[in-house]
Amino acid sequence: MLHADGVTKRFGTAVALDGLSLDVAAGEIAGLVGHNGAGKSTFVDVVCGLLRPDAGTVRVGGRAPSAARADIGVAPQHIALYPSATAAEHLALFGRLAGLRRRALAAAVAEVVDALLLADFLDRRVGLLSGGQQRRVQAATALLHRPALLLLDEPTAGADPQTRESLLAALRRRAADGAAILYATHYLHELADLGATIAVVRRGRIIARGTSAQLLAGLPSEVRLRAEGADEVRVRTTDPAGALTALLDRAPGTLREVDIRKPSLDDLYRSLAG
Ligand SMILES: Nc1ncnc2c1ncn2[C@@H]1O[C@H](COP(=O)(O)OP(=O)(O)OP(=O)(O)O)[C@@H](O)[C@H]1O
């Protein structure tokens, strides 16, 4: 659904994207992770057509972003709503801009109001809503017209657990219905919750891409063992069973605690993104 090939974007002498290539299939949730300034937001802006790349190509369902606007839903990193309009007015406006009318518009609005728990503040001006409530409205405007490609740039920054859970659940449903989702975040546990594939960006390039299982394979686990009368032993190893057996053989006294910590997405991030 999304195909990006060799995308380069410079701001003056700063290179924000340096030949970034990435594919996201229909039905896939791809997590875009990387340090501050790695290029995630710039890439999202290029894919939705807000920025024009200096080199490389982006295709959304085979078309240039400018020709695929109706197929794209975007929730930018910074809140981009009209403070003096209500949440309901935003949904009506965004729905109409996407070509929805009457019953189709009402059904689409009802769905996102329900999915993102907007009912309690639908008629309040967005400028008076809390940051988390504004994020929910923004995500709703992205989801409303059931786009084939969803671009979400840190949509849960500062969100409470209920907001986060409702958004993640809505995204899982959309992916199950066939949407391709690009999800930029620093919250790696959300990507695990979403069953997302991972793309790690560093200095404007993808440096690792795959399922979390693929990317975690080969990273060491940590084996920890504590026996009576001895100091705790910690070993980092790609063969935790073998290491544990060897440690148990050598353990001097009664065993008190044994723990194997498998590698996490945080370990992956630390090993790659530094
Ligand atoms: N409009 C701009 N003008 C100049 N430089 C820019 C502009 N937008 C982004 N940059 C630079 O491009 C690089 C990539 O920024 P970008 O916002 O894409 O990173 P990011 O990965 O989204 O970071 P974060 O995690 O902090 O949101 C940074 O060095 C940033 O300073």
* CATH pick for 2-216 out of 3.40.50.300, 3.60.20.40, 3.90.79.10, 3.40.640.10: 3.40.50.300
Does the pLDDT of residue 124 top 80, yes or no?
Answer: yes
Residue to substitute in 10, 35, 41 for testing ligand 1 pocket (most ligand atoms within 8 angstroms of CB)? 41
Q: Is the CB of 147 inside a 6 Å radius of any atom of ligand 1?
A: no
- Measure 16 CA to ligand 1 centroid, in angstroms: 6
Q: Is the CB of 58 inside a 6 Å radius of any atom of ligand 1?
A: no
The token duo for 235 is 């070993």
Q: Is the CB of 42 inside a 6 Å radius of any atom of ligand 1?
A: yes
- Measure 10 CA to ligand 1 centroid, in angstroms: 10
**SS3 category, 140:** helix
Mean pLDDT confidence for 190-206: 94
Q: Is the CB of 16 inside a 6 Å radius of any atom of ligand 1?
A: yes
- Measure 37 CA to ligand 1 centroid, in angstroms: 5
Q: How far apart are the first and last CA of the chain?
A: 30
In whole angstroms, give the CA distance from residue 54 to residue 16. Answer: 11
The amino acid occupying position 137 is V
**The CA-based dihedral angle spanning residues 42, 43, 45, 50, taken in that order and rounded to the nearest 10 degrees:** 100
Does the pLDDT of residue 274 top 60, yes or no?
Answer: no
The conformational region for residue 117 under phi > 0 = left, psi -120 to 50 = alpha, else beta, is left
Q: Is the CB of 38 inside a 6 Å radius of any atom of ligand 1?
A: yes
In the chain, what are the domain boundaries? 2-216, 221-263
Task: Express each pLDDT in 46-74 by its tens digit.
Answer: 999 999 999 999 999 999 999 999 999 99
The amino acid occupying position 28 is E
**What value of ipTM does the predicted structure carry?**
0.97
Count CB neighbours of 218 within 10 A: 10
- Measure 15 CA to ligand 1 centroid, in angstroms: 9
Task: Express each pLDDT in 61-116 by its tens digit.
Answer: 999 999 999 999 999 999 999 999 999 999 999 999 999 999 999 999 999 999 99
